[in-house]
Amino acid sequence: MRVTIHATGLGLLFLALMFLIGSSLAFAVEPDEVLDDPVLEARAREISREVRCPVCQNEPIDSSNAELARELRLVVRERLVAGDSDQQVKNYLADRYGDFVLFRPPVKATTYLLWAGPGLIFLFGGVGIFFFYRGSRRQKAPVPLSSDEQKKLNQLLTDKNSKGDSA
Amino acid sequence: MNRKVLFLLPLLVTITIFGYFFWALTSPGRDPKKLPSVLIDKPAPAFDLVELEGLNVPGFARQDLTDNGKVSVVNIFASWCIPCLAEHPYMLTLGARDDINLFAINYRDKPEDALKWLNKHGNPYHRIGRDPNSRAGIDWGVYGVPETFIVDSAGTIRYKHVGPLNTGDLENIILPIIENLQEQQ
């Protein structure tokens, strides 16, 4: 029984590994899209990885199998062949589909919060943790004993002393 | 008392954030799959699309948007697109009007399929341009079919509707915008 469980675990691990390897190798670029110039092709791949497919929204056009993604890959390559810079190609797409298609949108008034958000949350969290620990570590001033407590203490001390004498 | 509030704070913040996410993902008009068009209030892109042969309507080019001083409705459709069929009755209604242009871009379609589809369901469009590789569609920022644009008589894009026109969309959204633009002229 134990052996079967372990075997299943290993099998699952293996399966997960296969998926991981498979997904990193899989890409949608078809041979007929590839440019003859390896330098331009490399730039095209790099840009394609930074451009979101508007159809399957969490995939870059580089790995999306959507027809529109294929067409956008071709557009990227055509713009590069026409002599556009990487930034010009990205602008070309953003002019049509908005900054949304860029996985790294430009820093401007509408995206300040997006870019600064994680830093701000980290900062607030850090300040919160700082005050939390400073508060808990601070020594509290001892509260003086009440008269009842003082009386009890005196009682105990005298009892002990008398016992000590007798021993 | 003060400390208790402090301990509850992370929970409250989390609930607030989750509440915002829930609202943002579910409230109508905020469908995350619908991209806002960046082309609103911008001039329509340049394009010149060939006609669908066998149908007696001409092709569709940028200039047709500004030629006759009418407001244009530009519908992106394809014969393989089921929601297009669902909104087709509304296109027939729009196409019957002669105070507006109803133009179409036939998106990533085979001409014979498009022809068959239009013959079967009726052709409401005054002009149809074929866009077999979606290049004109890309210039319009189209990422699916159907999409419907409203363009004023100066060729400026004024509204974009993503997805099919549903019951009430024509009366409540499309027609008021058209009327508004017509009054402005």
Of A158 and A2, the structure prediction assigns the larger pLDDT to: A158
Which class is A23-106 in CATH?
mainly alpha
**Cα–Cα distance, A93 to B31 (Å, whole number):** 22
Residues forming beta bridges with residue B48, ordered by sequence position: B61
**Cα–Cα distance, B136 to B47 (Å, whole number):** 6
Best to test chain B binding among A57, A97, A100 (most B CBs inside 10 Å): A97
**A131-165 tens-digit pLDDT:** 888 877 766 677 888 889 999 999 999 887 766 55
Q: Domain-by-domain residue ranges, chain B?
A: 37-184
Question: What is residue A164's predicted lDDT score, i.e. its pLDDT?
Answer: 54
Q: For B36, name the nearest residue in chain A, comparing CA atoms only.
A: A98
- Helix, strand, coil abundance in chain B, percent, nearest 5: 40, 20, 40
Question: What is residue A3's predicted lDDT score, i.e. its pLDDT?
Answer: 47
A96 to chain B nearest CA, in Å?
A: 5
Beta strand segments in B29-156, E? 48-49, 60-61, 71-77, 100-107, 127-131, 147-151
Q: For B107, name the nearest residue in chain A, comparing CA atoms only.
A: A68
Residue B158 parent element (H or E): strand B157-162
Question: What is residue A163's predicted lDDT score, i.e. its pLDDT?
Answer: 62
Which portions of chain B are predicted below pLDDT 70? 1
Give SS3 for B75. Answer: strand
Q: Which of A68, A97, A132 sits opposite B134 (nearest CB)?
A: A68
**A89-127 tens-digit pLDDT:** 999 999 999 999 999 999 988 889 989 999 999 999 999
Q: For A135, name the nearest residue in chain B, comparing CA atoms only.
A: B3
8 Å CB contact of B35 and A75: no
Contact of B108 with chain A, judged by CB distance below 8 Å, is answered with yes
**Cα–Cα distance, A59 to A53 (Å, whole number):** 6
**A34-74 tens-digit pLDDT:** 999 999 999 999 999 999 999 988 899 999 999 999 999 99
What residues of chain B lie within 8 A of the CB of A70, using their CB?
none
Question: What is residue B35's predicted lDDT score, i.e. its pLDDT?
Answer: 81
Q: Which of A55, A96, A98 sits opposite B144 (nearest CB)?
A: A55
Question: What is residue B148's predicted lDDT score, i.e. its pLDDT?
Answer: 97
A31 to chain B nearest CA, in Å?
A: 18
What residues of chain B lie within 8 A of the CB of A96, using their CB?
38-39, 138-141
- Residue B11 has φ and ψ, to the nearest 5°, of -65, -45
Q: Which of B32, B133, B143 sits opposite A97 (nearest CB)?
A: B143
Query: DSSP alpha helices (H): ranges in B27-110?
Result: 82-95
Question: What is residue B52's predicted lDDT score, i.e. its pLDDT?
Answer: 96
Residue B10 parent element (H or E): helix B2-26
Residue B160 parent element (H or E): strand B157-162
Q: Domain-by-domain residue ranges, chain A?
A: 23-106, 107-139
8 Å CB contact of B38 and A57: no
Question: What is residue A135's predicted lDDT score, i.e. its pLDDT?
Answer: 77
Q: Is the separation of the CB atoms in B118 and B55 below 8 Å?
A: yes
Residue B169 parent element (H or E): helix B169-169
User: In the predicted model, what is the mean pLDDT of residues A11-32?
Assistant: 68
| ipTM attached to this prediction | 0.84
8 Å CB contact of A97 and B144: no
8 Å CB contact of B35 and A54: yes
Contact of B22 with chain A, judged by CB distance below 8 Å, is answered with no
Q: Judge whether residue A167 has pLDDT over 50.
A: no
Contact of B33 with chain A, judged by CB distance below 8 Å, is answered with yes
What residues of chain A lie within 8 A of the CB of B160, using their CB?
none
Q: For A94, name the nearest residue in chain B, comparing CA atoms only.
A: B38
Amino acid at A81: V
Question: What is residue A1's predicted lDDT score, i.e. its pLDDT?
Answer: 44
Place of tokens 């340049």: B46
Question: What is residue A2's predicted lDDT score, i.e. its pLDDT?
Answer: 46
Q: Judge whether residue A25 has pLDDT over 90.
A: no
Which class is B37-184 in CATH?
alpha beta
